[in-house]
Amino acid sequence: MLIAILVILAIAIIFVLILAGIYNGLVGARNQVKNAWAQIDVQLKRRHDLIPNLTETVKGYMQHERGTLEAVTNARTTAIKSADSGVAAQARAEGELSQALGRLLAVAENYPDLKASQNFLALQEELTSTENKISFSRQFYNDSVLQYNNKIQMFPSNIVASMGGFKEGEFFEVTDTVEREAPKVSFS
């Protein structure tokens, strides 16, 4: 009799431990999604900080490219303002900033003096790398969301997920014109 009780008790403890393990795994995956999202923001902010330096450096060399320069400055202002006005709007603004920057760096190829400037080379390195970091952090974010969603959908963790109220994360898709799609991750 005592043995039977002990066995049942042991099974119950093991069951609870397994549940706890699954739950912790889900929380871990959700936190990773959150962190990955924060990484994207860090890199976008870094790009905003780099642009004033760039326009300052470039101004002297590119007298005939006022329009291109202004487009970058304006796109940056819009992007910063849009940070509070919903993710979709911010996505559009960041996308336009990306394009304006791309145009500026492409035009810079025509100015050999500018290309020889140490200052410009350093900025170009930083900007290009920041663009790369944005896309790598987006990639890591999507991988994290995939892993998290798999956990939510697959048996047996799906049972724990529905009990704990875990909601699926949304992928970060990029289209041609829009740099950043609405992620709408809900962390309830």
Partner 1 sequence: MWEQIRDNQLRSVILVTALGCMLILLGSFLGQTVLGDWSIGLLLALLIWIVMTLVGYFQGDSILLSISNARKIGPDDMPRIYNVVEEMKIASGFEKMPDIYIIDDPALNAFATGRDKNHASLAVTSGLLQKLSRDELQGVIGHEMAHIRNRDVLLMAMCSILLGTIVMLAWYGSRILFFGGGTRRSSSGGGNAQIIILVIALALMIFAPIMAQFIYLAISRKREYLADASSALYTRYPEGLASALEKIGASTEQLKSANNATAPMYILNPFRKNGRAAEDLSSTHPPISERIRILRAMAGNVSLAGYESAYNQSHKGGGGIIPGSALAADDAALQRDTSSAGITQSEKERARETSDALWKLHNYREIACNCGLKFKTPPDFHGDTFTCPRCGTVHSL
Footprint on this chain of partner 1 (rule: CB under 8 A)? 32, 35-36, 39, 43, 105, 118, 122, 124-126, 128-129, 131-133, 135-137, 139-140, 143-144, 146-147, 150
Give CA separation, 135 vs 10, 60, 129, 168, in Å.
49, 31, 10, 22
Query: Minimum distance from CB of 83 to partner 1 (Å)?
Result: 21
Instruction: Tell me whether residue 78 or residue 117 sits nearer to partner 1 (CB atom).
Output: 117
Query: Minimum distance from CB of 142 to partner 1 (Å)?
Result: 9
Query: Minimum distance from CB of 45 to partner 1 (Å)?
Result: 14
Give CA separation, 32 vs 36, 47, 144, in Å.
6, 23, 6
Query: Minimum distance from CB of 63 to partner 1 (Å)?
Result: 22
Instruction: Tell me whether residue 171 or residue 182 sits nearer to partner 1 (CB atom).
Output: 171
Q: How far apart are CA 75 and CA 177, in angstroms?
A: 14
Tokens of 87: 């993710």
Q: How far apart are CA 143 and CA 118, in angstroms?
A: 37
Using an 8 Å Cβ cutoff, are 41 and 70 in contact?
Answer: no
Instruction: Tell me whether residue 131 or residue 170 sits nearer to partner 1 (CB atom).
Output: 131
Q: Which residues contact 50 (CB under 8 A, 6 or more apart)?
A: 123, 126, 127, 130
Query: Minimum distance from CB of 39 to partner 1 (Å)?
Result: 6
Instruction: Tell me whether residue 20 or residue 146 sits nearer to partner 1 (CB atom).
Output: 146
Instruction: Tell me whether residue 74 or residue 129 sits nearer to partner 1 (CB atom).
Output: 129
Strands (E), 34-157: none
